[in-house]
Amino acid sequence: MKITQASGSNTPAQRAPQASKPDVLAYETAQDQVILYGENGQQMAGSEQIKTKGDSFMKTLLYPSKMPDSVSPDYVPSRRWNFLMELTGSTQSYLGTAAALNAVGIGNGPLTVGLAWMVRDAIDGIGKFAGSQFGRQADKDPKSWVTTGEYVHAVGSMMESTLAVAPEAFLAIAPAANAVKAFGSTVKSAAQAPIELHQARDNNLGEMRSKNNNQTMLAGIIGAGLGFGLEKLGSHYIGAAATPVLMAAATAGKLFATHGYVKSLDLDPVTERRISKHAHKWLDVGKADKGDLKKLKLGAPLSDFVKDPARFRQLSELYGPRNYLLDIQQDQIAVVLHQDSTPETQLEAVTQASLVRILQRSPLYQVKIGQEGDAAARDWLLRTSLGAVAEVVASFARDEDDPLRFTSDARRAHWDKSPGVNIARVTRADLQSLTQSVKNV
């Protein structure tokens, strides 16, 4: 992750030379103009228009207005890679369609061909339905799911290209290939939504999407033309086998562009997995287990807590003014969120849960269970982890553009928060001494 400027605006590309003078209080840039203000608050005579050339027709057609201030710094590099993705994708589409159209001539009459094509398109909906079930995961980790969607789509495209050499298998291959491609496209589309939201910096999401669509259309035209030319040349020199070969080349190009696109994005949502990895790295206790927080319940039902009123009051006193209560219930970590909770509250809760999982593997915890019992050992876990939360959160460097994306239920609860008890601060050195044997586990 790149740590970039936290504010939503970019550093002005051109600083007025007069701005270095001591009598300048501040200056302002607005597109092609620099306005200087003196110590008395009055506009200075040095304010001037920056001489710039007017935007070309193509730039106006393809890019959002007020560039670069209206988009994130990673917009232009990512869109260049995306253009290559769309271009090669259009080539894929042409080659796949050509293979399918050649194959449908094998049917037992026009009615058979028509029904086969209808089935092919109908199964497309099944792929979209299946892909939509992964929308929440794609929203949490868009870069990973863009790549996943593209790989799935590549499999479907390669399946479709085999129709050029096995047209008699149309009824089996075409519907399955279409469903696989639709699944990949749907997942990728879901992942693009948070990326577009991240890149629109001037309340211009709609404009940016429309210009992105223009870029896609241009890439599609070029890609289709490229596909047409390659398919004709390949058929002439190689024959039917040319389509799978060309499809493989186009697919490789698109996957290469996809990796370039993902790498160019400065967007790293904060998830449970990322917090757990940071806590492990910060404490130098090895790599985080992927299953560490699988049994974390953010937004747990209040009923899970109030069924034991005495325990609920104890937790309320322990957490005091905080907007969440975290408890260990058998092997699950449950968190009830207050109605005043925010995403930052969830960040604190997930951080504490990560520390709890690390401490549960410490030798001292096992000793406490044997000497003091489960209840006392559990309370030690809660107090120790709670005392370290603030320091771990403070050590977690993140770009302010990185959204907090935790798996949390929508339910919120209300309880009367107490002033709380004094929780001793637990330092990094303290935690490392407690978890020293966790290394290499």
pLDDT of residue 50: 45
Q: What is the mean pLDDT of the chain?
A: 81
Q: Which of the four pLDDT bands, split at 50, 70 and 90, describes residue 17?
A: very low
Distance, in Å, from the CA atom of 93 to the CA atom of 74, rounded to the nearest integer, reads: 28
Give the tens place of pLDDT for each residue, 215-269: 988 998 898 888 888 888 887 888 878 888 888 999 999 999 999 999 998 888 8
AA letter at 440: N
Is 50 in contact with 15 (CB distance < 8 Å)? no
| SS3 of the chain: helix, strand, coil, percent, to 5 | 60, 10, 30
- pLDDT at residue 49, as a whole number: 47
| pLDDT value of position 317 | 93
Residue 3 has pLDDT above 50, yes or no: no
Percent above pLDDT 70 for the chain: 83
Q: How far apart are CA 319 and CA 311, in angstroms?
A: 12
Among the residue ranges 123-137, 206-220, 308-322, the one predicted with the least confidence is 123-137
Whether the per-residue pLDDT at 380 is higher than 90: the answer is: yes
Average pLDDT of the segment spanning 280-286: 88
Mean pLDDT of 16-24: 52
Q: Is 352 helix (H, G, I), strand (E, B) or coil?
A: helix
Instruction: Tell me what pLDDT residue 32 has.
Output: 54
Mean pLDDT for the stretch of residues 195-206:
86
Query: What does the pLDDT read at residue 127?
Result: 82
Query: Mean pLDDT highest for which of 14-18, 22-26, 247-251, 429-433?
Result: 247-251
Higher pLDDT, 34 or 414: 414
Mean pLDDT of 210-218: 89
pLDDT > 90: percent of the chain:
26
Least confident of 20-29, 212-221, 390-399: 20-29
According to DSSP, the residues that pair with 327 across neighbouring strands are: 334
Residue pLDDT, tens place only, 174-195: 888 888 998 999 999 888 888 8
Q: Residue 405 CB: number of other CB atoms within 10 A?
A: 20
pLDDT at position 15, please? 43
> Measured between alpha carbons, how far is 236 from 234 in angstroms, rounded to an integer?
5
- The per-residue DSSP string of 239-290 comes to -TTHHHHHHHHHHHHHHHHHHHHHHH-----B-HHHHHHHHHHHHT--PPPT
Q: Which of 19-23, 52-56, 162-166, 433-437 comes out lowest in average pLDDT?
A: 19-23
Q: What is the mean pLDDT of residues 22-35?
A: 63
Walk me through the domains of the chain, giving residue ranges and CATH numbers.
Answer: 1-52 (no CATH), 75-264 (1.20.1250.20), 272-438 (no CATH)
Model confidence at 137, pLDDT cuts 50, 70, 90, reads confident
Which of 386 and 330 is assigned the larger pLDDT?
Answer: 386
DSSP state of 37: E
Burial class (CB in 10 A: 0-12, 13-18, 19+), 400: exposed
The pLDDT value recorded for residue 5 is: 36
- Average pLDDT on 376-392 reads 93
- The tens digit of pLDDT for each residue in 150-172 reads 999 999 999 988 888 888 787 78
The pLDDT of residue 276 is 92
Average pLDDT for 6-26? 48
What's the confidence (pLDDT) of residue 232? Answer: 83
The confidence band for 114, taking pLDDT boundaries of 50, 70 and 90, is low
pLDDT tens digit string along 44-95? 765 554 444 556 677 777 888 877 778 888 888 998 998 999 898 888 887 8
- What span, in angstroms and rounded, lies between the C-alpha atoms of 332 and 324? 16
Q: Place 275 in a pLDDT band, splitting at 50, 70 and 90.
A: very high
pLDDT digits (tens, 9 = 90+) for 313-358: 999 999 999 999 999 998 899 999 998 999 999 999 999 999 999 9
